[in-house]
């Protein structure tokens, strides 16, 4: 998240759909750090404005100073400003603080609520024009705001079609802002209107981001052709260029706070330093989707869905105090079966030195067969790797497995079992199930999924080794270290060499989850592979104890 | 996103780190729909509170009615309440609206700011206790708030260690709330303190969510053992249970708004209907990570990072007006090379009927060889599928390819080329590159990545077919339909059968992107496979024109 500090100066909406509340939601949904200076309080909801409470101008200025003097604000929007004194308090404070280094400032010239409530005193419109517009990078009036502003100056003010919007934007630009976005939500346009205008004004840029563009014929076979539908066309004009933004009109009642949301979204884009045209393109696209994806809420004009641009993380990012959140999540979400595996009766008997010799030998023989699958799985992982370091890591694991197999052979030789006997051992179904499953995961999925399949074995034996070591160090331990025929086995898995491999394994899966944060669906898939392998590990020791 | 409506009743913080601003950010970062009733305005920042402006109690009540009467609020928190009249305005309105059906209500008994500013008039503490506490599901005092509350009632009030926290929580519970969360941020505890208390109070539940738990020995080999560090222990008590929440103390100055954030996060969890213990566990974990992941901001005590729990979507969800956002994104992000492919000179000459016969035959022969790779890729896709419907779809594509190959054979027969000649054609490097690359993607990645590798061919020929069809229908078309030796080729790819396959292909990749929203890293990987195949397609036609 960029976490860039941005500011809204506006009124409030307790119902959360408009005002600074909508702005803060929009900021957060863009990953920006939101700050907000309140110019007036309202009591409102989706049915309208019930009441307005003013805020002393000096207190507005004080809030603004508190924000500006402490946080490096990168872009600003203004919304409801209530009256002339508030406007002057704001512009004086901005000018004093920034001088000629004003960051991008978007002025949404809010005047009257949809329900007809006055949000800017009529006599203050002139102050907004003379005081605020000259500071503005962009003003974003809708049809009625533009008409009110123009009529205040006794300028031609009727806006009923796209051609008149073009003219009005030209006049509005003469009032001082660096650019004008005249919003077309209350003017119905068609693609014909756009084509006709484009003929008359060949330097017009048309952005059809909301419609199908060139070389997208294949999408038309499954999509309705929206080009012929009534369009919303926003007109952006600065001193050099005019740009039209086209999108289909949406039939929705979830439109409360549309203007607030659009200007806030533009501010987020501007804070990243993109061009004004790109900021408006991004802002209109965000707002369009926020209207279209909104679920009904309240009994009137509902709020937009500000959260369409974000998803909830399924795994937190690593921090100093929780450096391995993904491994924790795996262990916690399968705690029961994980415990049955790592504290298995086989392990306990082994640690007490009480495990029947034939059980252990059966286990070692089957493990010899299993490790061949396991080494092959890492071979598959090499083939699936994208970097030399991943190829190197997986290859080293194959070498480790081959060394482990040498240990098995040496061990078996001590107990009178030849390599030939090892090789001719009949494979238990538990061994086949586990080995073949890992290779199947490797065939079916990508490197990440295969890493999940090999993790339960690597990490589980490490956990057993450390657990037994810890238990053996307790004053009245149940672990038999001296004279235990399986002491070397315990030492190996609790020892530095094997634990180094475990550590590398943990770092690898943590990096994978951080580099490519899994969606809930994919986390479920990863966890399910991990859980299945944990069960197969438990089954492997069940098999060894039962000699099946 | 659940989008559940939740409410905060609190003061403001223009700098965005505390008050309703922090609450709204927390709500959004949990996917809840935030509403907010303002009790008082402040001018503050990370260095302290500069000024406070009260709000008329009747206007607080009006805001509250606006919210409650229109939106189905599922849980509520209160923060700064300023004075007795505001408290009574709120409790009266809540009682009138909800009667005995009060949703979960968390009261954060904010009294004094860290900088020493009064946020609740001293004489109002008693009203908070008598009016608000009885309505509360939970109160969440910190050390100094608990001490102030207890001293107001002339109760023993010193809290200097964990044992005293336990006692204080018991006394606080007698003041009326259903549960008390006494926060330990200003009391240093150790694991020994916890152990000693656990011996004295065997019914105590200890939640070590912030520390390593059972069967996690392997994490200790790479993590610092935080258990021995100074701990923060929060005490949750209701009439039946006492639960301690343990986590390591973090050395951070980013703590402005910690209490606001915690109570807001608990409210989000409660709105989903989880138990109080689970809500507090989730709330404390969220707040802990928000402190730990915060970047410095401002010159004093900076705000928390409320956004750690969310990520930005890289592909929007499909909507009615943009039903195929992923395919659009692919085409737009590779617009240049995509256009060179689908409007290739080979295609234009073919459509004019001007393509040299030997070029076309060379193309058909190489395509015959390429399609064998392509069919095999779909075989690999069958092997990588998880559902019968995916297996069915991929299998049908293999049948389609085999039919296409039959067409190639029949076509070649017309031009005097036998099947034997087809089979003995020497494979061009362009053909090998493209065919082998698709199979390599299939070996290396999962089904999704393989779908990306086969998409450029499927979709591109569909685009060419539709484009030529569209061009041929224009009044003065350049496309030769009658007497064009390649008319059948154009008809095939523009025709219903092939376009049906294209439509299915588009739906498949859109569903894949929606079911498992890609991280930016994975979207980059998918787009890179798509782009490489688009280049290889262009290279294929370059080869055909150049007869190489």
Give the integer Cα–Cα distance in Å for B479 and B490. Answer: 10
| Crossing angle for the helix pair B520-546 and B357-384, to the nearest 10 degrees | 150
Please check whether residue A466 is in contact with residue A499, taking contact to mean a CB–CB distance below 8 angstroms: yes
* Sheet strands side by side (includes A5-10): A33-38, A5-10, A75-78, A105-107, A138-139, A179-182, A231-238, A242-248, A205-207
d(CA B252, nearest CA chain A) in Å? 12
Give the integer Cα–Cα distance in Å for A34 and A31. Answer: 9
**pLDDT tens for each residue of A489-528:** 999 999 999 999 999 999 999 999 999 999 999 999 999 9
Give the integer Cα–Cα distance in Å for A459 and A451. Answer: 11
For A105-217, list the strands marked E by DSSP: 105-107, 138-139, 179-182, 205-207
**CB spacing of B64 vs A14 below 8 angstroms:** yes
Reduced to 3 states, what is the DSSP secondary structure of residue B50? strand
Give the integer Cα–Cα distance in Å for A449 and A527. Answer: 10
Comparing C-alpha atoms, which of A175, A139, A133 is closest to residue A154?
Answer: A175
- Bridge partners, B179 (sequence order): B238
Reduced to 3 states, what is the DSSP secondary structure of residue A274? coil
- B207 at the A interface (CB within 8 A)? no
Comparing C-alpha atoms, which of A372, A429, A172, A528 is closest to residue B386?
Answer: A528
- A328 at the B interface (CB within 8 A)? yes
- Contact list in A for residue B36 (CB cut-off 8 A) is 12, 14, 16, 21
H helices of A415-546, where?
419-423, 429-444, 447-472, 487-494, 496-515, 520-546
- Contact list in A for residue B219 (CB cut-off 8 A) is 324, 327-328, 506
Closest residue in B to A471 (Cα) is B217
Comparing C-alpha atoms, which of A349, A318, A328, A412 is closest to residue A541?
Answer: A349
- Category of A356 on φ-ψ map: left (φ > 0), alpha (ψ -120 to 50) or beta: beta
**CB spacing of B289 vs A316 below 8 angstroms:** yes
Q: Is the dihedral of CA B408, B413, B419, B425 positive or negative?
A: negative
Q: How many CB pairs under 8 A join A and B?
A: 339
Residues of chain B with pLDDT under 50: none
Inter-CA distances, A88 with A66, A82, A128, B51, B401, Å: 17, 11, 9, 20, 72
Question: Tokens representing A423?
Answer: 């090789």
Inter-CA distances, A313 with A333, A523, A531, Å: 16, 10, 21
- B387 at the A interface (CB within 8 A)? no
- A444 at the B interface (CB within 8 A)? yes
Inter-CA distances, A44 with A263, B59, B61, Å: 20, 11, 12
Q: What's chain A's average pLDDT?
A: 95
Q: How far apart are the first and last CA of chain B?
A: 54
Rounded (to 5) percent helix, strand, coil in chain A: 55, 10, 30
Give the integer Cα–Cα distance in Å for A163 and A167. Answer: 7
Reduced to 3 states, what is the DSSP secondary structure of residue B34? strand
Comparing C-alpha atoms, which of A197, A199, A200 is closest to residue A246?
Answer: A197
**pLDDT tens for each residue of A338-378:** 999 999 999 999 999 999 999 999 999 999 999 999 999 99
Reduced to 3 states, what is the DSSP secondary structure of residue B541? helix
**CB spacing of B12 vs A36 below 8 angstroms:** yes
- How large is the ipTM? 0.95
d(CA A170, nearest CA chain B) in Å? 31
H helices of B385-495, where?
388-414, 419-423, 429-444, 447-472, 487-494
Question: Tokens representing B87?
Answer: 């408290």
Overall residue count recorded for chain A in this entry = 548
Rounded (to 5) percent helix, strand, coil in chain B: 55, 10, 30
Under the banding of pLDDT at 50, 70 and 90, the label for residue A414 is confident
Q: Which of B34, B66, B472, B516 has the highest number of chain A CBs within 10 A, making it the mutation to test binding with A? A: B66
**CB spacing of A516 vs B521 below 8 angstroms:** yes
**pLDDT value of residue B548:** 64
**pLDDT tens for each residue of A374-403:** 999 999 999 999 999 999 999 999 999 999
**CB spacing of B319 vs A210 below 8 angstroms:** no
On the CB side of B364, how many CA atoms lie within 13 Å of its CA? 28
- Contact list in A for residue B317 (CB cut-off 8 A) is 293, 308
- Contact list in B for residue A65 (CB cut-off 8 A) is 43, 50
Give the integer Cα–Cα distance in Å for A441 and A449. Answer: 7
Phi, psi of A234 (to 5 degrees): -95, 140
- A37 at the B interface (CB within 8 A)? yes
Under the banding of pLDDT at 50, 70 and 90, the label for residue A548 is low
d(CA B36, nearest CA chain A) in Å? 5
- Contact list in B for residue A45 (CB cut-off 8 A) is 66-67, 69-71
- B311 at the A interface (CB within 8 A)? yes
Question: Tokens representing B155?
Answer: 């109760």
- Contact list in A for residue B324 (CB cut-off 8 A) is 219, 222-223
Question: Tokens representing A321?
Answer: 């105090």
d(CA B92, nearest CA chain A) in Å? 17
Closest residue in B to A224 (Cα) is B321
**CB spacing of A308 vs B316 below 8 angstroms:** yes
**Nearest by CB: B71 against A15, A289, A521:** A15
Please check whether residue A255 is in contact with residue A186, taking contact to mean a CB–CB distance below 8 angstroms: no
On the CB side of A58, how many CA atoms lie within 13 Å of its CA? 4
**pLDDT value of residue B334:** 97
Q: pTM of the full predicted structure?
A: 0.96
Inter-CA distances, A203 with A174, A181, A206, A327, Å: 20, 17, 10, 58
CA B518 to chain centre: 10
- Contact list in B for residue A332 (CB cut-off 8 A) is 213
Helix or strand (DSSP H, E) at A34: strand A33-38
Phi, psi of A222 (to 5 degrees): -110, -10
- B288 at the A interface (CB within 8 A)? yes
Please check whether residue B247 is in contact with residue B209, taking contact to mean a CB–CB distance below 8 angstroms: yes
Just list the catalytic residues of B: 183, 255, 257-260
Comparing C-alpha atoms, which of A187, A181, A168, A171 is closest to residue A140?
Answer: A181
**pLDDT value of residue B72:** 95
């Amino acid at each position: 998240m960029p976490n860039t500090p941005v500011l809204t100066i506006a009124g409030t909406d307790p119902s959360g759909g408009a005002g600074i509340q909508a702005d803060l939601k929009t900021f957060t949904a863009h990953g920006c750090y939101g700050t907000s200076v309140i110019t007036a309080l309202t009591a409102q909801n989706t049915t309208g404005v019930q009441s307005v409470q003013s805020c002393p101008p000096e207190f507005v200025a004080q809030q603004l100073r508190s924000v500006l003097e402490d946080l490096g604000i990168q872009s600003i929007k203004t919304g409801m400003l209530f009256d002339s004194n508030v406007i002057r308090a704001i512009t004086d404070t901005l000018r004093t603080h920034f001088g000629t280094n004003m960051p991008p400032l978007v002025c949404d010239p809010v005047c009257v609520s949809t329900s007809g409530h006055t949000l800017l005193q009529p006599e203050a419109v002139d102050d907004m024009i003379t005081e605020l517009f000259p500071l503005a990078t962009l003003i974003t009036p809708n049809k009625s705001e533009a008409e009110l502003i123009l009529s205040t100056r006794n300028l031609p003010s009727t806006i009923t079609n796209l051609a008149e919007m073009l003219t009005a934007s030209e006049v509005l630009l003469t009032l001082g802002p660096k650019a004008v976005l005249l919003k077309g939500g209350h003017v119905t346009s068609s693609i014909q209107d756009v084509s006709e205008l484009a003929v008359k004004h060949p330097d017009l840029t048309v952005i059809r981001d909301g419609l199908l563009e060139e070389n997208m014929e294949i999408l038309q076979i499954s999509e309705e052709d929206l080009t012929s539908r009534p369009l919303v066309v926003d007109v952006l004009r600065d001193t050099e260029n005019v740009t039209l933004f086209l999108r289909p009109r949406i039939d929705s009642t979830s439109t409360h706070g549309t203007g607030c949301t659009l200007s806030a979204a533009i501010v987020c884009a501007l804070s990243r330093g993109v061009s004004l045209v790109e900021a408006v393109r991004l802002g209109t696209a965000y707002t369009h989707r926020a209207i279209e994806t909104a679920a009904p809420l309240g009994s009137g004009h509902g709020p937009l869905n500000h959260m369409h641009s974000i998803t909830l993380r399924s795994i937190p990012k690593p921090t100093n105090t929780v450096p391995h959140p993904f491994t924790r999540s795996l262990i916690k979400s399968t705690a029961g079966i994980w415990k049955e595996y790592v504290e298995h009766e086989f392990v306990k008997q082994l640690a007490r030195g009480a495990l029947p010799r034939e059980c252990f030998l059966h286990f070692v023989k089957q493990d010899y067969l299993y490790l061949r699958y396991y080494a092959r799985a890492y071979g598959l992982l090499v083939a699936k790797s994208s970097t030399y370091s991943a190829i190197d890591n997986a290859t080293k694991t194959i070498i480790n497995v081959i060394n482990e197999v040498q240990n098995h052979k040496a061990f078996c030789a001590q107990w009178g079992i030849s390599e030939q006997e090892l090789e001719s051992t009949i494979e238990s179904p538990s061994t086949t199930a586990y080995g073949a499953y890992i290779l199947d995961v490797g065939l079916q999925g990508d490197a990440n999924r295969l890493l999940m399949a090999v993790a339960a074995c690597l990490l589980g034996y490490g956990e057993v080794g450390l657990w037994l070591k810890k238990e053996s160090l307790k004053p009245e331990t149940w672990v038999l270290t001296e004279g235990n025929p399986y002491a070397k086995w315990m030492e190996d898995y609790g020892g530095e060499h094997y634990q180094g491999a475990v550590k590398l394994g943990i770092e690898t899966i943590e990096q994978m989850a951080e580099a490519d944060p899994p969606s809930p669906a994919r986390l479920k898939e990863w966890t399910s592979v991990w859980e299945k392998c944990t069960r197969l590990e438990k089954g492997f020791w069940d098999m060894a104890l039962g000699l099946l």
